[in-house]
């Protein structure tokens, strides 16, 4: 039972008046020009119901600015849109989503709940004692819930430092004291001296060394790891306290820990390099305050985190060396960039984007310092081989995803970051692009276009708009994000170099029910296959086993820099193709004097073939012509013998997958449930421990040992009921509304009425969210 602090009777009475049920606020899509959208945006501007956020100068000289909405001076959490401001300061060309109708939900902005009570409510929910709380922050905001009903709320956060640090973030109704929402917002993951670890090797900071000397503060012969922009504290294996590290100038040699030669030097120097990158490339500070880096946190702590104020790094133990490589330092610092710009919520798809931006920043920092990047995150501090994440191939770590179709609600944000990581890799490697240019679009999107609860598609749209404003080729952005299943915008060809014409083509061979498709397309970067039985693929070449004989329409779409092309072929597969002639001799049995033969039996004797015309025993065929008839020609071949064809059906209930073997010509079988379990039963089932997509395989063999295999990727733990209201042709739907229709779930991308879900196409008003249970 949740216990909330007592509220006075007067406050409750007032709350009852102020929070009468009302229609929710409206989300107005400014990307679709209309009188309504223009009026809403202009009203917000003319009534000064906003504050200007970050901005940048577009290629045409205009200023692109984030417009953070307010209501009676109170910020509307996570809600902003973008405007173009000309040299006279006039705003126009609005894009994004604006909120209207807040006044119908929030009558007064005077809270009846104290901020102290709000802090107590959050700490009670997270079972933290008040004396544990550090860096407590609270402010009044307008909070929109999942139904877009606006609430006056206290936004509260604090940090608890321990062996498992946390940073609860919560919103408490400022009238009723109800906890509206909460989540853990902690983001994990000139002097001289040594640096590095046993994996990277020892290197030196200083003149003529691998890296330049780093800035420190000097007083006489005493130096400290402090500068105008960065200070580095030695936590000395504690979780609180710590002090700026001091040493005798000019060389800091302290101290070797867990295979690293001076984690303090690495952290301080790489913090300065990260700060310099943002300053030199974009003339911004990564965070408004001085960077504070805390090193040697706790004992054997194998992580690093940003807590909303400072970065903290553990010394590692068995898995990691001290977590102070440049990519890890830049990653944590860049969580500060996100928190002070888009403030992407550290959960859902926005959380994956939050993590991805920090990975992208790590790539940019290494590119800034060294001029190259190997697309691996954390490989320099991971003991043994491998890396923490692989931006060019996210699933290589065994947990991350590289396509939006593989995302599921509640997925760890480190794993969902793979979608935007892979898009960044693809964009950086486009002709006329590099890591710096691709990072331009991500940082501008973070500064201006992304909002706290952005989805993958909204995030991709932000990168698209940033590229457009910067005068970059948006076609490349569209292609890079399309390859990971994210919608961005329409191709325009503006500022794009002429590309070679894409020509889609493929050949195929079949063996039984299995078809192998060989891609022979020209000038394409990515590919999309529709295999005719409902299955799709994204690899260049594909091998696919169909479930039944038939002719299937197979379509390949080849996607290039400037154009797309597709080709469709009709492919016929048949299980009879696996039938082979028996290896047995094509002769009749040899006659035997001891065998009794009946009418119609056939035998061979002395090179000739005979058919019995009567019953006999011991009657030699070449003598007793009244019993045997001599045959001419060779005997017909035996009927063809078909090899096994693996096939099965499956069903899913929660985390349990049930399978039924429907193979033909098989005598033995083995099920493989993603390496977690096996079975030899015709009907089998397995319950996985967590939601995800798993490969379930079946191998069958016949009596001669010939085998056949089939594997299917099955998603479990992702049942979605048709929770949206049934679509109605007469009803008006706004951006974000979810409906169910014909066994599918759909989300409105902008205002619509009368457009039937499932008929508007990929770029239409309705985005398909997948099937659902009626």
pLDDT at position 762 is 57
Q: What is the mean pLDDT of residues 106-134?
A: 94
The rounded distance, in Å, linking the Cα atoms of 44 and 100 is: 9
The rounded distance, in Å, linking the Cα atoms of 69 and 78 is: 9
- Residue-range domain boundaries for the chain: 26-100, 187-340, 345-496, 506-573, 596-637, 642-716, 725-771
Taking alpha carbons only, the member of 438, 447, 81 closest to residue 285 is 447
Lowest mean pLDDT segment, chosen from 60-64, 99-103, 256-260, 770-774: 770-774
Tokens of 370: 């060294």
The rounded distance, in Å, linking the Cα atoms of 219 and 233 is: 18
For 328, half-sphere exposure in the C-beta direction (CA atoms, 13 angstrom radius) is 31
pLDDT band for position 428 (cuts 50, 70, 90)? very high
pLDDT at position 8 is 35
How far, CA to CA in Å, does 711 sit from each of 510, 577, 664, 667, 687?
17, 20, 16, 19, 17
Q: What is the pLDDT of residues 612-645, one digit of tens each?
A: 988 888 889 888 888 889 887 666 655 545 678 8
Q: Provide DSSP, 6-66.
A: ---HHHHHHHHHHT---PPPEEEETTS--HHHHHHHHHHHHTT-EEEEEEEE-TTSPEEEE
Q: Which runs of E-coded beta strand occur in 196-354?
A: 203-205, 217-219, 222-224, 230-234, 243-244, 246-248, 291-297, 304-306, 311-314
How far, CA to CA in Å, does 449 sit from each of 82, 96, 328, 489, 498?
6, 7, 25, 14, 29
Task: Round the average pLDDT of the chain to a whole number and report it.
Answer: 84
- The superfamily in CATH containing domain 506-573 is Immunoglobulins (2.60.40.10)
| Residues contacting residue 653 through CB under 8 Å, at least 6 positions apart | 719
| Residues contacting residue 414 through CB under 8 Å, at least 6 positions apart | 188, 189, 355, 389, 399, 400
pLDDT at position 582 is 36
The rounded distance, in Å, linking the Cα atoms of 504 and 566 is: 5
Identify whether the C-beta of residue 753 lies closer than 8 Å to the C-beta of residue 766. no
Q: What is the CA radius of gyration of the chain?
A: 34
CB atoms under 10 Å from CB of 423, counted, come to 31
Class in CATH terms, 596-637:
mainly beta
CB atoms under 10 Å from CB of 383, counted, come to 16
pLDDT at position 5 is 35
The phi and psi torsions of 236 (rounded to 5 degrees) equal 50, 40
Range 168-187 burial, b when 16+ CB lie within 10 A, else e: bbbbbbbbbbbbbebeebbb
User: Which of residues 78 and 199 earns the better pLDDT score?
Assistant: 78
CA 626 to chain centre: 83
Percent of the chain with pLDDT over 70: 87
Pick the CATH number of 26-100 from 3.90.1300.10, 3.40.50.1100, 3.10.450.490, 3.40.50.300: 3.10.450.490
| pLDDT of 190 strictly over 60 | no
Class in CATH terms, 345-496:
mainly alpha
pLDDT at position 21 is 42
CATH number for region 642-716: 2.60.40.10
Q: What is the pLDDT of residues 384-422, one digit of tens each?
A: 888 889 999 999 999 999 999 999 998 999 999 999 999
Say whether 403 is catalytic: no
pLDDT at position 309 is 80
CB atoms under 10 Å from CB of 164, counted, come to 10
Give the dihedral of Cα atoms 723, 729, 731, 733; nearest 10 deg.
60
Tokens of 580: 């082979």
> Hey, do 506-573 and 642-716 end up sharing a CATH topology, with the first three levels equal?
yes
The rounded distance, in Å, linking the Cα atoms of 30 and 750 is: 9
pLDDT at position 213 is 63
Tokens of 450: 């992304």
Highest mean pLDDT among 76-80, 245-249, 329-333: 76-80
Give the dihedral of Cα atoms 483, 485, 490, 495; nearest 10 deg.
-30
pLDDT at position 383 is 84
| pLDDT of 7 strictly over 60 | no
pLDDT at position 186 is 77
pLDDT at position 289 is 86
pLDDT band for position 763 (cuts 50, 70, 90)? low
pLDDT at position 718 is 59
* Catalytic member of 332, 335, 355, 562: 332
pLDDT at position 581 is 36
| pLDDT of 593 strictly over 90 | no
For 605, half-sphere exposure in the C-beta direction (CA atoms, 13 angstrom radius) is 19
Taking alpha carbons only, the member of 658, 659, 637 closest to residue 648 is 659
Q: What is the pLDDT of residues 559-581, one digit of tens each?
A: 876 678 888 888 888 776 545 43
| pLDDT of 17 strictly over 70 | no
pLDDT band for position 222 (cuts 50, 70, 90)? confident
User: Which of residues 368 and 7 earns the better pLDDT score?
Assistant: 368
| pLDDT of 6 strictly over 60 | no
User: Which of residues 35 and 262 earns the better pLDDT score?
Assistant: 35
Taking alpha carbons only, the member of 334, 343, 327 closest to residue 306 is 334
Q: What is the mean pLDDT of residues 151-168?
A: 91
Provide the whole-model pTM.
0.59
- Here the contacts of 42-48 (C-beta below 8 Å, separation 24 or greater) are 43/100, 44/69, 44/98, 45/83, 45/91
Q: Which runs of E-coded beta strand occur in 444-549?
A: 506-511, 514-519, 526-530, 536-537, 542-545
Q: What is the pLDDT of residues 309-340, one digit of tens each?
A: 888 888 888 888 888 888 888 998 899 899 99
pLDDT at position 80 is 94
Range 90-112 burial, b when 16+ CB lie within 10 A, else e: ebeebbbbbbbbbeebbeeeebb
pLDDT at position 205 is 65
ω before 123 within 30° of 0 (cis)? no
pLDDT at position 199 is 59
The phi and psi torsions of 6 (rounded to 5 degrees) equal -70, 145
Lowest mean pLDDT segment, chosen from 92-96, 637-641, 766-770: 637-641
Bridge partners, residue 529, by sequence: 537, 556
Taking alpha carbons only, the member of 530, 661, 640, 543 closest to residue 583 is 640
pLDDT at position 220 is 75
pLDDT at position 204 is 73
| pLDDT of 702 strictly over 50 | yes
Would you identify the CATH topology of the domain 187-340?
Elastase; domain 1 (3.10.170)
Tokens of 584: 């047995």
Q: Which runs of E-coded beta strand occur in 635-691?
A: 641-642, 648-653, 656-661, 668-673, 678-679, 683-687
- The superfamily in CATH containing domain 725-771 is Carbohydrate-binding module superfamily 5/12 (2.10.10.20)
pLDDT at position 770 is 67
Nearest 5°: the CA angle 361, 362, 368 is 85
DSSP state of 159: E
ω before 250 within 30° of 0 (cis)? yes
* Catalytic member of 151, 414, 544, 686: 414
pLDDT band for position 11 (cuts 50, 70, 90)? very low
Identify whether the C-beta of residue 359 lies closer than 8 Å to the C-beta of residue 331. yes
Q: What is the pLDDT of residues 721-753, one digit of tens each?
A: 666 788 888 888 887 788 887 657 788 877 787
The rounded distance, in Å, linking the Cα atoms of 170 and 122 is: 6
Say whether 302 is catalytic: no
Handedness of CA 407, 409, 413, 415 (dihedral sign): negative
């Amino acid at each position: 039972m949740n216990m909330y602090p007592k509220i006075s009777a007067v406050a409750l009475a007032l709350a009852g008046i102020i929070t009468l049920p009302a229609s929710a606020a409206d989300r107005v899509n400014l990307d679709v020009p209309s009188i309504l959208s223009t009026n809403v945006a202009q009203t917000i501007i003319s009534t000064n119901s906003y504050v200007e956020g970050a901005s940048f100068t577009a290629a045409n000289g205009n200023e692109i600015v984030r417009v953070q909405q307010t209501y009676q001076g109170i910020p509307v959490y996570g809600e902003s849109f973008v405007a173009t401001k000309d040299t006279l300061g006039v705003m126009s060309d609005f894009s994004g989503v604006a909120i209207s109708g807040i006044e119908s939900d929030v009558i007064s902005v005077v809270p009846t709940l104290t901020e102290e009570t709000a802090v107590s409510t959050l700490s009670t929910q997270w079972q933290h004692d008040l004396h544990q709380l550090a860096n407590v922050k609270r402010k009044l905001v307008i909070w929109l819930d999942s139904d877009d009903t606006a609430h006056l709320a206290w936004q509260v956060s604090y940090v608890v430092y321990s062996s498992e640090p946390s940073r609860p973030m919560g919103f408490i109704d400022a009238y009723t004291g109800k906890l509206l929402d909460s989540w853990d917002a902690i983001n994990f993951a000139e002097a001289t001296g040594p640096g590095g670890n046993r994996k990277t090797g020892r290197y030196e900071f200083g003149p003529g060394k691998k890296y330049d000397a780093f800035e420190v503060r000097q007083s006489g012969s005493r130096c400290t790891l402090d500068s105008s922009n960065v200070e580095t504290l030695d936590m000395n294996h504690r979780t609180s306290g710590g002090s700026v590290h001091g040493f005798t100038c000019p060389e800091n040699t302290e101290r070797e820990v867990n295979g690293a030669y001076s984690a303090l030097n690495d952290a301080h120097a790489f913090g300065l390099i990260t700060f310099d990158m943002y300053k030199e490339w974009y003339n911004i500070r990564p965070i408004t305050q001085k960077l504070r880096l805390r090193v040697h946190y706790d004992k054997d702590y194998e992580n690093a985190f940003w807590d909303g104020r400072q970065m903290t790094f553990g010394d590692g133990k068995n898995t990691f060396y001290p977590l102070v490589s440049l990519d890890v330092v830049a990653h944590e610092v860049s969580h500060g960039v996100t928190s002070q710009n888009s403030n992407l919520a550290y959960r859902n798809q926005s959380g994956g984007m939050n993590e991805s931006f920090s990975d992208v920043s790590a790539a940019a920092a290494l590119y800034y310092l060294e001029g190259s990047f190997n697309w691996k995150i954390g490989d320099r501090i991971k003991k043994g081989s491998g890396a923490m994440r692989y931006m060019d191939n996210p699933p290589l770590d065994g947990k991350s995803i590289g396509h939006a179709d593989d995302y599921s609600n509640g997925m760890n944000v480190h794993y969902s970051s793979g979608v935007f990581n892979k898009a960044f890799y693809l964009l950086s490697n486009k002709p006329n692009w590099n890591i710096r240019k691709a990072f331009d679009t991500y940082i501008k999107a973070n500064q201006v276009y992304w909002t706290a609860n952005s989805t993958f598609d909204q995030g991709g749209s932000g990168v698209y708009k940033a590229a457009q404003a910067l005068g970059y080729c948006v076609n490349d952005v569209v292609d890079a994000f399309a390859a990971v299943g994210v919608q961005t915008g329409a191709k325009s060809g503006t500022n794009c170099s002429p590309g070679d014409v894409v020509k889609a083509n493929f050949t195929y061979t079949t063996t039984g029910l299995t078809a192998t498709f060989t891609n022979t397309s020209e000038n394409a970067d990515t590919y999309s296959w529709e295999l005719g039985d409902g299955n799709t693929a994204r690899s260049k070449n594909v091998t696919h086993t169909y479930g039944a004989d038939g002719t299937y329409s197979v379509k390949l779409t080849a996607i290039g820099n400037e154009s797309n092309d597709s080709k469709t072929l009709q492919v016929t597969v048949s299980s009879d193709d696996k039938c082979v002639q028996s290896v047995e001799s094509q002769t009749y049995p040899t006659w035997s004097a001891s065998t009794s033969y009946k009418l119609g039996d056939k035998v061979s004797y002395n090179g000739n073939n005979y058919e019995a015309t009567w019953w006999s025993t011991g009657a030699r065929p070449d003598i007793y012509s009244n019993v045997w008839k001599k045959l001419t020609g060779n005997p017909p071949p035996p009927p063809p013998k078909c090899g096994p064809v693996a096939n099965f059906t499956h069903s899913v209930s929660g985390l349990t997958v049930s399978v039924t073997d429907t193979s033909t010509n098989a005598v033995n079988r083995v099920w493989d449930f993603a390496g977690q379990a096996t079975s030899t039963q015709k009907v089998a089932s397995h319950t996985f421990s967590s939601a995800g997509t798993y490969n379930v395989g079946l191998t069958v063999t016949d009596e001669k040992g010939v085998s056949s295999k089939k594997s299917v990727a099955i998603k479990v733990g992702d049942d979605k009921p048709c929770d949206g209201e049934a679509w109605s042709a007469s009803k008006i739907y706004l951006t974000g509304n979810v409906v169910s229709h014909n066994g599918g779930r759909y989300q409105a991308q902008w205002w619509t009425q009368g457009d039937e879900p499932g008929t508007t196409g990929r770029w239409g008003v309705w985005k398909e969210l997948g099937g659902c249970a009626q």
